[in-house]
Structure 1
């Protein structure tokens, strides 16, 4: 009764759900939307403004603000549904004086065993020495592997188990 007399509205008793029915809670600061829906709405408005300004620039013929390598965004805004459809069109630079460098990979032959030259394909075994071997030569003793397994194991154990020394205690 007091609220009707003073004209003040009472705060809602429970939390407000997002108006987009996404299942999260909204707040009056974000127009009763959750933070994600509010951010998406602001992003769509920003893109619509950008698209409208780029269309206006294209119609006026002033393309001084656009860069040749920058993608041009065109949008169609439907006022009845308040939706924005964006299409990105990538334009090639107009100048032919800039050569485009393409790096071609050298053609690799079939994978072969480093010792007997047998084709191994996808079933090859790579060793720690960096070579690929067949099933017969995959073990280090079969291909005279130069990798030092003993020092590698010592270094791994030393890293896993650091030396811990306790401070000397004073005798009472």
Structure 2
């Protein structure tokens, strides 16, 4: 009765250590196969890290072209991060200088308000002579 683990024709280890090797271990004995795996693991890790670094290099190049500026308040130069308030004058301010009165805004709110009111409330003139011929 032959078992599945034993080979019909055992072959010597491919590294020549004198012990018989198994085909599932690339014709290496168990000790040489463990050494082979230890040698192979750093190479695989190195190739994997090279692949990853090549991917990160591409993203670094993309990031350098889209370089974002740190956002700061235009009055006190304080970093505002995600909570920066943008004004209609086009600048970004912190919470202390977000109001137009605090940062001496140059945007003309009156003229914009008048234009909006004129568009929303058109002039309605009724005909003075209702029964014209």
TM-score (norm 2): 0.48
Q: Which has the higher helix share?
A: 2
| Structure number with higher relative contact order (C-alpha < 8 Å, ≥ 6 residues apart) | 2
- Structure ID, larger Rg: 2
- Give the TM-score normalised by structure 1: 0.37
Identify the structure with the greater strand proportion: 1
